[in-house]
Amino acid sequence: MNKIIVVLISTLLPLIVGCSFTNPSPPSQATETNEVAISPVSVVVTPATSVSPLPTPAEVDIPQPKAGFGTVGGILLVKNPRAEGTFTSVPITPIFLAPVIYTNDGKSAFAGLDYNTDPTGTTGETGIFVIQNVPPGRYGVVVLQGSIPYLIKNEKGEDYIISVEAGKALDLGEIHADLPPL
């Protein structure tokens, strides 16, 4: 039984976390009672070869917008629950631009999200997103996690509000979000 567990761990774990296992000495032979002694296993941790670094904002290809519209792009990253102070990409996540709603005296009050009409895109595997054909205006950046929309906050804890201008491409760079886990 122990031998099977060691074989499974040494076979599967390198595929999962990029580790390799070595056995420093050969296992001893079976004893007369058919028991097998297991030699200690050492673990050598090496970086996984299949993980690629996150792209830099310069690598986000934001196309020029159509006349009368803007284009918005960036990289959505969330706090990494496994490593304090770090961020990780958010793959295949809907992202919306919700128009800012103003009070009668012209102050922004909130961002109103309409799933059917608001500009939207989806993050790629590395968190990159591009939203095209965005009408000029001020928008709150909203992420749909599960079925719940979250208005992204900036590093100061304020709503992440952007201004889109006709004929311009807006590169938001890395957006660091603090979203609750699914």
* 147: in domain: yes
Model pLDDT for residues 45-83, shown as the tens digit of each residue: 333 333 445 544 447 899 999 999 999 999 999 888 888
* 182: in domain: no
Average pLDDT over all residues of the chain? 74
* 51: in domain: no
Is the per-residue pLDDT at 15 higher than 50? no
Q: Domain check: are 136 and 76 in the same one?
A: yes
DSSP state, 107?
A: -
Provide the CATH number for the domain around residue 165. Answer: 2.60.40.1120
* 111: in domain: yes
* 161: in domain: yes
**pLDDT value, residue 28:** 44
Cα–Cα distance, 179 to 146 (Å, whole number) = 11
Q: Domain check: are 21 and 92 in the same one?
A: no
Q: Domain check: are 37 and 97 in the same one?
A: no
Q: Indicate the helix (H) or strand (E) that contains 164.
A: strand 161-164
Q: Domain check: are 135 and 167 in the same one?
A: yes
* 62: in domain: yes
**pLDDT value, residue 109:** 81
**pLDDT value, residue 145:** 86
Say how many CA atoms lie within 13 Å of 26 toward its Cβ: 3
The CA dihedral of 11, 12, 16, 17, to the nearest 10 degrees, is -50
> What's the structural domain count of the chain?
2
Range of the domain at 34: 2-45
Scored b (16 or more CB within 10 A) or e, 57-88 reads: eeebebeebeeebbbbbbbbbbbeeeeeeebe
pLDDT band of residue 182 (cuts 50, 70, 90) is low
Model pLDDT for residues 129-166, shown as the tens digit of each residue: 999 999 999 999 999 888 889 999 887 888 899 999 99
Q: Domain check: are 41 and 61 in the same one?
A: no
Cα–Cα distance, 89 to 106 (Å, whole number) = 36
Is the per-residue pLDDT at 22 higher than 60? no
Q: Domain check: are 8 and 74 in the same one?
A: no
